[in-house]
A = this chain, B = another copy of it.
Amino acid sequence: MSIEIPKEKQRQRAPSKRSLETRGRIFDSAERLFAERGFEGASVRDIAKEANVPAGLVTHHGGPKEALFCYVVSRRAEELAAARINALNARKELGPLTLHAILDCFFAPYLEKAETGGPQWLSYARLVAHVSADPRWRDLAAICFDPTAKIFIDEIAALYPQAARQTIAAGLVYSVSAMLALVTSRWRVAALGDPRPDAASHLDELITFCAAGIEAANTTRAS
């Protein structure tokens, strides 16, 4: 599979307002359907129909299907990465970091967008879950998510100077997967537990869970 994230090709004229709107509709539809059904589960024609455009337009704006997928994944990944780095830097100025604080800087930006940024951000978690599940997107995942992950691992490593970096990395990967599970499998948690109406403060629970896990994995001596 492709590893390249498509770049804007050079143009001689600025795009019209209408054109930009259509582009946006196409990308949003693609994101929603890719998230719901995976890469080959969502056809170009499905995406076109959802965006209310003829099929040819999807190719025109998004390029080959693979490129469209990569772009849609990387688009929000970049925004998310920036938000996370910003949160981290802002927190750093308030004093020395704790593990809870680091994880909060990692989780909160996404969960915030998921709840206030509209349904697109919610479906984005499903999209990432598909990317993570499919080895064909390994390179795409590495490009989109590894740089930020490395930065956060560095911060955690500073708190546990004696710990193996591998263990810290594993902890963060587990944490990310737990966060994806929180968003994509809320129904599952609800089905397995007693129905509880309040949807608030899942974030606190998640951070508590992950922080304790990372803490324990990096202070316990392996058998």
Contacts and interface: CB of A to CB of B under 8 A. Distances in A.
A196 B129 contact: no
A134 B184 CA distance: 9
B192 A169 contact: yes
Contact of A201 (B181, B191, B223): B223
A41 to B, nearest CB: 5
Interface stretch (A7-15, A69-77, A106-114, A204-212): A204-212
Interface SS of A by simple majority? helix
Nearest to A202: B170
Nearest to A205: B217
Given A38-B133, A135-B36, A172 B187 contact: no
B135 A133 contact: no
Contacts of A41: 38-41, 134
A129 B135 contact: no
Interface string A182-217: 101101111111101000011011101111111111
A180 interface: yes
Interface centre among A167, A180, A192 (most CB of B within 10 A): A192
Interface in A156-180: 164-174, 176-178, 180
Interface of A: 36-41, 126, 129-130, 132-136, 138, 141-142, 146, 149-150, 153, 164-174, 176-178, 180-182, 184-185, 187-194, 196, 201-202, 204-206, 208-217, 220, 222-223
5 contacts: A38-B40, A40-B40, A126-B133, A170-B202, A174-B206
Given A38-B39, A177-B178, 7 more contacts: A126-B135, A129-B133, A149-B192, A153-B193, A164-B193, A201-B222, A209-B216
